[in-house]
Amino acid sequence: MTHNRVKAERIVVFGTGEIAELADFYFTHDSPYDVAGFTVDAAFLKKAEFNGRPVVPFEEVEEKFPPTDYGFFVAVSYAKINAVRAQKVAAAQAKGYRLKSYLSSRATVFPGFALRENCLILEHNTIQPYARIGANVTLWSGNHIGHHSTIEDDVFLASHVVVSGGVRIGQGSFVGVNVTIRDHVTIGKKCVLGAGALVLEDQPDLSVVAPRGSERSPVPSTRLRNL
């Protein structure tokens, strides 16, 4: 359902991949921002249009979309443990752009919540009172961010993550789907918590927590009698 909001400001989105396409959809249908165009590094520019709007080289973006008239959003994944997204945010700021954020109207936040720059917070995130979210943070759909927790800058949370109360997640970390972090646990910088991890104790910087994946039975499904 499209919200009938007055579009207060035009923005440029960095990227032409799936995350950029989703960001365009969310900004268009559920924000006060209007996406005027897209930009990528010249080496990756393959087409002049994306979603019906122009794509320009990032090296020249300020000529077509001057930072005095346009905001900016970097729609990049967690590549290189979020470093690529952080680098593009810094490069856009160096050009004078004001980084904008998307906060879903279907997310739950409370008085005192501060939305920082270049955040993407999708539907059904619950951010409890006294929780703090840094800049350039992506919260995919359906996460619980417990009270008095801190998510530092440049973090990416996939879907259905439970961050209990008083947790700290360090800068640049990636948290996979269905991860559960016990209360008052500290996750260091640039950690990777794999899908389904149950984290019960502090993790130092650069930790990788990777639960054992699914094992395939040697018995084929046709031999399962009780299914």
The CATH number linked to 111 is 2.160.10.10
Q: Are 179 and 199 in contact (CB under 8 A)?
A: yes
Q: Are 76 and 14 in contact (CB under 8 A)?
A: yes
In the prediction, which pLDDT does 227 show? 56
Strand partners, 13: 38, 73
pLDDT band for position 220 (cuts 50, 70, 90): confident
Which residue range(s) make up the domain with 142?
101-206
4: CB partners within 8 A, 6+ apart: none
Q: What is the mean pLDDT of residues 82-109?
A: 98
111 & 194 share domain: yes
In the prediction, which pLDDT does 102 show? 98
**176 found inside a domain:** yes
**214 found inside a domain:** no
68 & 142 share domain: no
Residue 214 pLDDT more than 90? no
68 & 112 share domain: no
The pTM score is 0.93
The structural domain count of the chain equals 2
**211 found inside a domain:** no
Q: What is the mean pLDDT of residues 215-219?
A: 82
pLDDT band for position 147 (cuts 50, 70, 90): very high
C-alpha–C-alpha distance, residues 168 and 155, integer Å? 11
105 & 196 share domain: yes
74 & 23 share domain: yes
141: CB partners within 8 A, 6+ apart: 122, 123, 124, 125, 159
In the prediction, which pLDDT does 226 show? 62
CATH of the domain at 61: 3.40.50.20
Q: What is the mean pLDDT of residues 138-160?
A: 98
pLDDT band for position 225 (cuts 50, 70, 90): low
